[in-house]
Amino acid sequence: MKYFSFKPVRDWFGFTRRERRSSFILLLIIAVVAGIRFVVPSKKISVDMITLEIPDKPVERVKQVNQASKANTYTRRPERETVYKVVDLNSCDSASLEALPGIGPVLSARIIRYRNLLGGYAVVDQLKEVYGLSEETFNLISSRVKADPSRVKKININSAEYKQLLRLPYFEKGEVTGIVKYREGRGRIGNMEELVNKGIIAEKTAERVKDYIVFN
């Protein structure tokens, strides 16, 4: 019986003994890897999305807290209205005047000096007659001052001396001279209209001095 010989095949490929061994090991590894795919089944792992349900009430409460926090952050407290002490022009001192906006030592001294010259302020608008007090400054302080007319010193036109009448800044020198002469000739002046009608003083002067003159 004739046996099959691998010699022709070996001779045809021309492998050496070491090459044949390496080839056998490589084929064995390939066979093992291929077999594993059939022996061990492949598994697919799927990750399901987990939905978390959050109750509505806690969420609403968080929203309310956030809204309240924002409201507290952006809401300004109403500012308190500043209340100023009203200064009486006829009884105040220089320190009270200097506390007013736009009034310094010079203006406060002039306001008091003019008060003494007049015998007191009958109305607040007389501050406009103070030298150096601007319209802007008057507007700043007009609501913070008052003039108490009961403190105004009156002049009795029937007994006052020439210098006393002339001191009142609303009288002109000629008007004072006329008053004194008319009083000497007449004896007594009854009212302001009498002086105006006789042409002794101007109607404008009568309007300005009416708060400072008495006829008793």
Torsion angle defined by CA atoms of residues 101, 105, 111 and 113, in that order, rounded to the nearest 10 degrees: 170
Rounded to whole angstroms, how far apart are CA atoms 192 and 114? 24
- Give the per-residue pLDDT at 74: 45
- The CATH number, out of the four listed (3.30.1370.30, 3.40.50.300, 1.10.150.320, 3.40.190.10), of the domain defined by the range 84-153: 1.10.150.320
For 166-193, write each residue's pLDDT tens digit. 999 999 999 999 999 999 998 899 999 9
Confidence class for position 64, pLDDT limits 50, 70, 90: low
For 105-116, write each residue's pLDDT tens digit. 999 999 999 999
Domain boundaries, the chain: 84-153, 154-216
pTM of the model: 0.61
- Give the per-residue pLDDT at 152: 96
